[in-house]
Amino acid sequence: MSKMEELKRKYGLYKNEKGEYLFDTTSEEEARIEETFQGLKGYALRPDIADEFKAMLTCIALLGLGDDYLMEAKLSLDIDEETENRNEEIDKNLERAIVEYAKAFSVYSNKTIYFSLARAVMMRNDIITAKEFLNNYITYTQPEEYSETVTDHFQSYHLQILGYGSIEELDNEINRLIKTL
């Protein structure tokens, strides 16, 4: 079983009769998703990409929440490095980030999410799992049913959030990380 499958099971994601992963949302997740969709009010989506675009926006909302948790953990970690203390709040925020990333991937899979997962598990000093996620990034194949328009929009957005100018730049960083781990 892959690490992604383990994460999905561990964090309460379950499959419906179509084999799609489902999960219960928290009030915090629902609020973030609603906030993300507010930007679409008054716009019409092309019918051929509407469902995929909505899934992508839900994914973006969950990624944003995961990034918030990751940032909280990083800020706490930076402070605690001075005292050589690792508190429960850091681990709790890292765990929350990983949950949000796993949920995001189940809604709209994209290889860049593997990088977000790898960052979170690296902060937990789980190098083996981080390397597996980085390797998954390299071997990932986008589902055929995904529209190129929505995929490009998602990747552009997520690369910007991650701080990379292009997918090639992120590819180079992934390869560098794999060699150093």
pLDDT of residue 111: 93
On the 0-12 / 13-18 / 19+ scale of CB atoms within 10 A, 73 is: buried
DSSP letter, residue 107: H
* 11-57 pLDDT per residue, tens: 667 677 777 777 888 899 999 999 988 887 888 888 888 889 889 99
DSSP characters over 123-153:
HTT-HHHHHHHHHHHHH----TTS-HHHHHH
Q: Look up the pTM and report it.
A: 0.85
Could you give the 3-state DSSP secondary structure of residue 69? Answer: helix
DSSP code of 165?
A: S
Coil/strand/helix, residue 105? helix
Classified as helix, coil or strand, 21 is strand
How far apart are alpha carbons 90 and 79 in whole angstroms?
Answer: 11
At 59-98, the pLDDT tens digits run 999 999 999 999 999 888 776 555 556 678 888 999 999 9
